[in-house]
A and B are shown apart, each in its own frame.
Chain A
Amino acid sequence: MAPRTLFDKIWDHHVVETLPDGTSILYIDRHLVHEVTSPQAFEGLRLAGRRLRHPEMTVAVVDHNVPTSDRSQPIEEPESRNQIETLERNVKEFGVPYFPLLSANQGIVHVVGPEQGISLPGMTIVCGDSHTSTHGAMGALAFGIGTSEVEHVMATQTILQRPAKNMRVTVEGTPGAGVSAKDIMLAIIGHVGTAGGTGHVMEFAGSAIRGLDMAGRMTLCNMSIEAGARAGLVAPDDTTFDYVKGRPFAPKGDDFDKAVAYWRTLSTDEGAHFDKEVTLRAEDIAPSLTWGTSPETVLAITDTVPDPALEQDEAKRAQMVRMLDYMGLDAGQKIAGTPVDVVFIGSCTNSRIEDLRAAAHIAAGRKVAEGVRAMIVPGSGLVKRQAEEEGLDKIFLDAGFEWREAGCSMCLGMNPDRLTPGQRCASTSNRNFEGRQGPGGRTHLLSPAMAAAAAVTGCLTDVRELA
């Protein structure tokens, strides 16, 4: 057999049938469901008199709309409450396993999946959410789908797909001080652009990637969608297997050993073909952040804001002018030192225990700057509990951070956590589109440590100065 990529292997293991026009019926091992993109799918099933083909391969959780403040009170926003109650009715009617709001296991679907051992290497995983790419860190083929496809997976446990192209991003070397997986990923997006991965599955390789823990790999794969890719992938290795072992829904005992033997076959063969290759050196990457309203507008923290006058392309120049205006920045100004109003540490990109430790390391013994609102939103109830066992909550509370319940929160501002017009936010999330965190809000994407540094200094800051 010709050498195959990791993507090719997982794909081949899941094709039920390829139709004459080249579309494949692809089998789905795990379907994750949340409250925003599922109600219309359940409704469709009901109208057609259909059931879920495999409820035991499906898991539902509430995350997008949930309040991250006091949970002992009923949810105030009637529409959010309705969406959550609708999901609760649907999971009951259709027999779908569900983590309710008040369960310690509740959290952001892309944090919960790996944490519970629901997402495993070699699987196909879908969810009605573009950041499903996160689960690619397990060595699984994971991608976001629309609501009609959610209904399709519910009814058939399959999806209609054409194979993606293969892209490999290799990062070799050892990252310098203050450089996390988030900085590596921002550098990659800055390098390839927001359409750089369109139509491709992006495999991350190289010594710098191998050296990352699972949380870091999830951060990378999470934002592969911001580089336009259909999915991100990291080949499973001992780091992966150690992570999976003992998780509630992972295989146990003999089954686990059998699984590992299979998972070890899941890596790209020597000589396999990639349609696109990109290589970066970890040593060239500095602590980074975005300055504009597209995730590709990446700068090193030591850089100055770019000048549209130097841009040749007219359309790009106009877009830069608009972005500078929206972001309230001047061409040529140093990005470090720009004052922030809000700091948000959370989202499926950076809300795992490792992320909170990195932020706490900077926050310890310091105070949130005067006039800055800083919030920590753990990715799941379990992350929150572990952080509390490690005393991180105390570090944050002493420093003046808000310590909140798990959910998507200010990543997209569907719940009450929103920016007001003109507010500038240092955020560990993944999208900086206009109005993403609230109408008129200004978002700078950066790592948890950089976000904590901004909180305690009151401005965008090179984290290396505080370490």
Chain B
Amino acid sequence: MDKFTVLSAVAAALPEANIDTDKIIPARFLKTTQRTGLGKHAFDSMRYRPDGSENPDFVLNQVPWRKAEILITHENLGCGSSREHAPWALLDFGIRCVIAPSFADIFFNNCFKNGILPVCLPRDVCDALMGDAAMGSNARLTVDLPRQVVIRPDGEEVPFEIDPFRKHMLLEGLDDIGQTLQHEGEIKTFESQVAQERPWMPAISID
């Protein structure tokens, strides 16, 4: 996983609440067996017209936001299905940071697992950042994870909160599995305890 430290990039505004994972990546594109390649279908129903051509009114089809690496939305981003294809599609499109007043639980989690930083900021701050984003490439936003600030084009710094463990994982580009396996001893102890306390739990085998 790529490390996330300081990102200075074009930001795109999608001023909508409840953008669900079906909208981020519709079910018909979930047939892949890989993590990559979904970027071209991100926001498919908003990005393309029924005949398959690009919808010129959609922000991610416009210059300079075609190259946006930061996405700003309204409340409850990523609600609906647990599909990790949603953050994969965003990442494959080039998005490394999503900013919103609130996120759905599973999507929020899934972002971290893919090196995408979800930043939770109050609605009025998001609206102000959307104003910056509207200025396009003249107004890059900088997301500084070590210092936990978003730096606006005029230099104003907006602080944000992040769980220290998750921050560490993002900064180092670490995956959870390696971390958890360091607790092998505790897991083994737990397993032998359960084998005594709940011995009736059957093993599954299907011939």
Contacts and interface: CB of A to CB of B under 8 A. Distances in A.
Contacts of B35: 40
- Most B C-beta atoms less than 10 A away, residue of A77, A149, A230: A149
Contact of B33 (A40, A152, A412): A40
B180 A158 contact: yes
Given A19-B165, A98-B206, A435 B26 contact: yes
Contact of A29 (B45, B76, B105, B201): B201
> Taking chain B's interface residues, is the majority helix, strand, or loop, or is none over half, making it mixed?
loop
Contacts of A199: 105
B180 A146 contact: no
B204 A414 contact: no
A56 B105 contact: no
B155 interface: no
Contact of B200 (A80, A149, A258): A258
Interface string B99-136: 00000111001100110000000000000000000000
Contacts of B177: 48, 50, 151-152, 155-156
A433 B20 contact: yes
A16 interface: yes
A21 interface: yes
A130 interface: yes
A25 B187 contact: yes
- Most B C-beta atoms less than 10 A away, residue of A99, A118, A147, A259: A147
Given A40-B34, A412-B27, A147 B84 contact: yes
A199 B120 CA distance: 15
Contacts of B105: 198-199, 230
Interface string A80-97: 101100100000000001
B186 A16 contact: yes
Contact of A57 (B33, B187, B203, B206): B203
Interface residues of A, number: 76
A255 to B, nearest CB: 4
B197 to A, nearest CB: 8
B113 A27 contact: no
A341 interface: no
Interface of B: 17-18, 20, 22-23, 26-28, 30-35, 45, 50, 76, 79-84, 87, 104-106, 109-110, 113-114, 163-165, 175-177, 180-181, 183, 186-187, 190-191, 194, 198-206
Given A16-B187, A148-B84, A259-B198, 9 more contacts: A16-B183, A56-B203, A56-B205, A82-B33, A83-B31, A130-B106, A157-B187, A228-B79, A249-B204
Interface of A: 16-17, 19, 21, 23, 25, 27, 29, 36-37, 39-40, 43, 48, 50, 56-59, 64-65, 77, 79-80, 82-83, 86, 97-99, 118, 120, 122-123, 128-130, 144-149, 151-152, 155-158, 160, 194-195, 198-199, 228, 230, 249-251, 255-256, 258-259, 262, 294, 315, 412-414, 421, 431, 433-436, 439
